[in-house]
Amino acid sequence: MDSAKPVEGKVALITGASRGIGLAIARALGRLGAKVSICARDPQKLEAAAAGLKREGATVLAISADITRSSDIATLVEKTSLSLGPIEILVNNAGIGYFGPTHLAAETDWDSVLDTNLKSVFLLTKAVAPGMLERQRGDVINIASLAGKNAFAGGGIYCASKWGLIGLTECMAEDLRPSGVRVSVICPGTVATEFSLHAGKDPRKMLQPEDIAHAVEVIVTQAPQSFISEILLRPTQKP
């Protein structure tokens, strides 16, 4: 294996990969030699992202899907496996936010955030884990947030989804580690993306999508006898 491409030939499925953190992760894994399957809801943005990755030399498959639906997930996993091979790296990155007083939120706000940020991770991991268990190897990497550890006004629903994601990750790690499957969580602070407007903050002082992608690189290149269970990422300067 080329030392410059330590995951060459491995298949990586990344959700929420048409822009921002997900696209940066897909770019990093492609550069390391992985064949990447990228997923998002917007087919036009997804195709544009895939075209950019192909220009950079990556082997890429783009599949539009709603990852809150188990039927879409089944199709996503099947198409990825048939086109690229068995999935060895799963990056659960897709996420949405709702920010405002919890007591003023609608039930639909709760459902959309929890379904996207938490339920989808359960469904995707459930779909991919059997193959990883059969091969006795694989990495599941969940992108959470420092909001999963720190409370703030207006963050009730979003924080609940990320606290839940951290807990889910830790339990899945214990379930799967005896079989050689590693489950990790990355908790970034504020990242300069389109996710939110970051009013009053200096984007030059924020984390960049590439910082989270680098953390993913560290996890997937870890020696097989160990795994990094959690990474907390903060900018060196408060934005």
Catalytic positions are: 158
Residue with tokens 């036009």: 44
Within the chain, strands assigned E span 11-15, 35-40, 59-64, 87-92, 138-143, 181-188, 230-233
Evaluated on CA atoms 237, 20, 90, 171, the torsion sign reads positive
Ramachandran class of 134: left when φ > 0, alpha when ψ lies in -120 to 50, beta otherwise:
alpha
Residue with tokens 């897909």: 26
Phi, psi of 201 (to 5 degrees): -105, 150
Other beta carbons within 10 angstroms of residue 33's beta carbon come to 17
